[in-house]
Amino acid sequence: MQLIDGKSLAKKVQTTVATEVAKLKQEKNIVPGLAVILVGDDPASHAYVKMKAKACENVGFYSITHNMPDTISQDEIIATIEMMNNNPRIDGILVQLPLPKQIDTDKILEVIDPKKDVDGFHAYNVGRLVTGLDSFVACTPLGVMKMFEEYEIDLRGKDVCVVGASNIVGKPMASLLLNAEATVTITHIHTKDLKAHTSKADIVVVGVGVPGLIKEDMVKEGAIVIDIGINRIEDGSLVGDVDFKNVSPKCSYITPVPGGVGPMTIAMLLSNTLKSAKARA
Supply the residues annotated as catalytic. Answer: 52, 96, 119
Say how far apart CA 219 and CA 55 lie, in whole Å: 35
CB atoms near residue 122 (< 10 Å): 21
Tell whether 166 is in a known binding site. yes
Tell whether 196 is in a known binding site. no
The gap between the terminal CA atoms of the chain, to the nearest Å, is 44
Tell whether 79 is in a known binding site. no
Say how far apart CA 93 and CA 77 lie, in whole Å: 12
Q: With CA atoms as reference, report the closest residue to 65 among 53, 82, 80.
A: 53
Cα-based angle 115, 7, 62 (whole degrees, multiple of 5):
40
Say how far apart CA 44 and CA 50 lie, in whole Å: 10
Enumerate the β-bridge partners of residue 227.
Answer: 206
Contact 147, 261 (CB under 8 A): yes
Tell whether 230 is in a known binding site. yes
Enumerate the β-bridge partners of residue 232.
Answer: 238
Q: With CA atoms as reference, report the closest residue to 226 among 136, 130, 119, 145.
A: 145
Contact 123, 62 (CB under 8 A): no
Q: Considering only CA atoms, give the Rg of the chain.
A: 19
CA distances (Å), 67 to each of 61, 81, 96, in order? Answer: 19, 13, 10
Tell whether 164 is in a known binding site. yes
Q: Answer left, alpha or beta for residue 70, where phi above 0 means left and psi between -120 and 50 means alpha.
A: alpha
Binding region: 164-166, 189, 230
Binding region for NADP(+): 164-166, 189, 230
